[in-house]
Structure 1
Amino acid sequence: MTRDTNLYSQFVSFLKILLPLAALTLMSTVFLLARPPSGDNQIPYAELDRMAQEPRLSGAHVSGVAEDGSVIELTARTTRPTGDLIEAEALAAGIDTADGTRIDIRAGRGEIDSAARTARLTGLAHLQTSNGYEMETSGFTADLATGRITSDGALEVKAPFGSLTAGELVIDTPQDADGQVMLFQKGVRLVYTPKQ
């Protein structure tokens, strides 16, 4: 029994020397191999001055009702006023039409013209409707007074009945119609996919 106790005591004594030496070796390795700080640690005061002089608003949210009864909501990650125009980043429009259809438009950027009461969503705009239409184009223009939406260029559309391409899309509420109508025009090409 004394021999086992003696071996155990020797082992503990050995660890009392070895473990602090190992810790010291590890710490010296960390300090020796650490990278020096980069030279670019100065505060960009010119950039801070420019940002302080340029008014911005984060998380903007505007809503209203158009003449056709559509409820329109606009949200943006950041906005910057420039006269009558409000420039926006990550601009989104949500439209609840009078007939119950939901239209969601998202774009990388855009602008809201408060005088003309229009919103332009640009930079690969994506439109999706609650009745199964999904499309992408270079941009959309929404008339906030009337609720009319037009595409800025050609678009590709996934529809409940297949897919199509068109040169232009107009979403409008004709006077005698019960709700909004989607009108695809300028070189429409339809690929019909029958349901299984």
Structure 2
Amino acid sequence: MDRHSRLVAYFKVILPLAALFLLSTLFLLSRSIAPTGTTPFAEKDIEARVRGQQITGAFFSGITNGGDEITVSASTAHPASAGGSADAEELQAHLTLAKGGEIRLKSDAGTLNPAGDRASFTGNVRITTSTGYTVTTQQLDTGLDTFSAETPGQVEGTGPFGNFTAGQMQIGAKNKDAPVHMLFTKGVKLVYDPRNPEKD
């Protein structure tokens, strides 16, 4: 047998053995390497998504029975069960009064129930009006069909006359044709500031 024939005979044995060796090495490596990548979500985010859905940029708008335009928005909201209230974060509302003027509401969180025509603002609630009043409190409960609102607790604020505190505040109209007004009750204290001229 010449040299060429011997080389061909060797390669017929060596090459298949080399191929088997390479394949076995690949399988061994694939079994020994553990995954080191991380999931794109933190465990608490995954748990929150599993527990319930959430809506980003939730928005509600309508017109009250008195003709006032109201819009309510939230950065995120968790859908409610049938007839229930939806929990929301960074809740905001804008009310354009039919008789003129505007009221803006803002809070850290709250609940929204369009079916029940109710909304509740909780946590660092801030109320501002186009007439120059700014009021802060911890909770404000509002109606949406006929706009009315009240605080279960104390309020602090500033206005055209100075700084004030009160045990409770109500916002609403006495009847359908009356303008919306703010009523402060239960121990009102006013610190008059003469630098703020009285407005008509």
TM-score, shorter chain, exceeding 0.5: yes
**C-alpha spacing 1:166/1:50, structure 2 compared with 1 (3 Å):** closer
- Distance in 2 of aligned mates of 1:51 and 1:173: 42
Structure 2 residues without counterparts, runs of 5 or longer = 1-35
With structure 2 as the length reference, what TM-score do the two structures score? 0.72
Partner of 2:3: none
With structure 1 as the length reference, what TM-score do the two structures score? 0.74
Partner of 2:130: 130
**C-alpha spacing 1:57/1:159, structure 2 compared with 1 (3 Å):** same
SS of structure 2 residue aligned to 1:69: coil
Q: Deviations over 1:129-158 (max 9, x none)?
A: 011000110011110011001123101010
Q: CA RMSD in A?
A: 2.1
Structure 1 residues without counterparts, runs of 5 or longer = 1-39
Partner of 1:141: 141
Partner of 2:70: 72
Counterparts of 1:54-93 in structure 2, within 5 Å, are 54-83=52-81, 84-93=84-93
Partner of 1:12: none
- Distance in 1 of aligned mates of 2:50 and 2:126: 33
Amino acid in the other structure paired with 2:179: G
How many residues are paired up?
157
SS of structure 2 residue aligned to 1:62: strand
- Distance in 1 of aligned mates of 2:172 and 2:194: 28
- Given that 2:66 and 2:177 are in contact with CA atoms closer than 8 Å, whether structure 1 keeps it comes out as no
SS of structure 2 residue aligned to 1:82: coil
